[in-house]
C-alpha cells in the first residue's frame, strides 16, 4: 500500500510524517518504508537548487521534479511495494500537479492536466492520500515565506489545484484539518492510517 502526505507549505505534513515514522519501530523489517520527495538523490539536489533560484524556468523545473520522481519510484517506492511494505511518502505526484500546475498556469494551456498527463503512463498512483488542509495565509506564515513557493498568493493557487485533485478522486483523499494543534493533526493522521491499514488486513 502506498500512502502519501500532501498539502501546501506550512501545512505541517512533515511534522506528521516524522511522528508516524517515530511511532513505528524503525527496524528495516518492520514493514514500513518512510520516504519523501524531493529525495536526497542527486536529482533531488538539483531540485533543491532550482527551488531557491528565483529565475528558474518553470518548465525546466517541472522536468527536474519529474526526473526526481521517476528515480524515486524505481529506486525506492516500487522495490518497497514489491517487498510488501506500506510506503509512506512526504509529498509525491500530487505535489507536481498542484505546484507545477500553478507555476505553469498562463504559460501552458490547462497546465495541471498537462502535468498529470506526463505522469500518467508510468507513475504508480497512491492508494491513500492524507491531505493536510490549511489556508494559504497560515501556510505562508508558518513556512516563513522564504522561497518563491511559500508566498500566500502562490499557495492559494496551489490549494485550488489540490481541491481540484480531491474532486477528481474523492475516495483516495482524506482531508485533515491542519489548522489544529500539531498534536491533534498527528492524532487525526494516526486514526486514518490505523483505520485504513486495519481494513486492508481484514
Ligand atoms: P517540502 O516538502 O516543503 O520540503 P522541505 O520542507 O524539506 O523543503 O518541498 C519543498 C518545496 O518544493 C515545497 O515548496 C513544495 C515544492 N515542490 C514542488 O513544487 N513540486 C514537487 O513536485 C515537490 C515534490 C515539491
Report mean pLDDT in 10-residue bins for the chain, 202 residues. 97 96 80 97 96 93 98 98 97 98 97 98 98 97 88 96 98 98 97 92 70
Residue to substitute in 6, 37, 99 for testing ligand 1 pocket (most ligand atoms within 8 angstroms of CB)? 99
Q: Of 63, 47, 158, which Cα lies nearest the Cα of 114?
A: 63
Total-model pTM: 0.95
pLDDT of res. 198: 87
Nearest CA to ligand 1 atom 23: 95
CA 105 from centroid of its chain's CA atoms: 20
pLDDT of res. 200: 82
- Ligand 1 atom showing the smallest separation from residue 103 Cα: 19
- Homologous superfamily of 2-201 in CATH? P-loop containing nucleotide triphosphate hydrolases (3.40.50.300)
Using CA atoms, how far apart are residues 118 and 4, in angstroms rounded to an integer?
A: 19
Per-residue pLDDT of 169-201, as tens digits, reads 999 999 999 999 999 999 999 999 999 998 887
CB-based contacts of 125, cutoff 8 Å, min separation 6? 2, 93, 172
pLDDT of res. 202: 63
How many whole angstroms from 38 Cα to the centroid of ligand 1?
6
How many whole angstroms from 37 Cα to the centroid of ligand 1?
7
Amino acid at each position: 500500500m502506498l500512502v502519501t502526505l500532501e498539502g501546501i507549505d506550512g501545512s505541517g505534513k512533515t511534522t506528521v510524517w516524522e511522528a508516524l515514522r517515530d511511532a513505528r519501530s524503525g527496524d528495516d523489517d518492520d514493514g514500513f518504508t518512510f520516504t519523501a520527495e524531493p529525495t536526497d538523490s542527486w536529482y533531488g539536489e538539483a531540485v533543491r537548487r532550482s527551488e531557491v533560484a528565483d529565475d528558474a524556468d518553470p518548465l525546466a523545473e517541472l522536468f527536474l521534479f519529474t526526473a526526481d520522481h521517476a528515480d524515486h519510484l524505481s529506486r525506492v517506492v516500487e522495490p518497497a511495494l514489491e517487498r510488501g511494505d506500506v510506503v509512506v511518502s512526504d509529498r509525491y505526484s500530487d505535489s507536481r500537479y498542484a505546484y507545477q500546475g500553478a507555476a505553469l498556469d498562463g504559460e501552458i494551456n490547462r497546465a495541471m492536466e498537462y502535468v498529470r498527463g506526463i505522469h500518467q503512463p508510468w507513475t504508480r498512483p497512491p492508494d491513500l492520500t492524507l491531505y493536510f488542509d490549511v489556508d494559504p495565509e497560515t501556510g505562508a506564515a508558518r513556512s516563513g515565506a522564504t522561497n518563491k513557493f511559500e508566498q500566500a498568493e502562490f499557495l492559494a493557487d496551489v490549494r485550488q489545484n489540490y481541491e481540484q485533485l480531491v474532486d477528481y478522486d474523492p475516495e483516495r483523499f482524506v482531508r485533515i484539518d491542519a489548522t489544529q494543534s500539531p498534536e491533534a493533526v498527528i492524532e487525526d493522521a494516526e486514526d486514518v492510517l490505523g483505520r485504513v491499514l486495519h481494513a486492508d488486513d481484514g
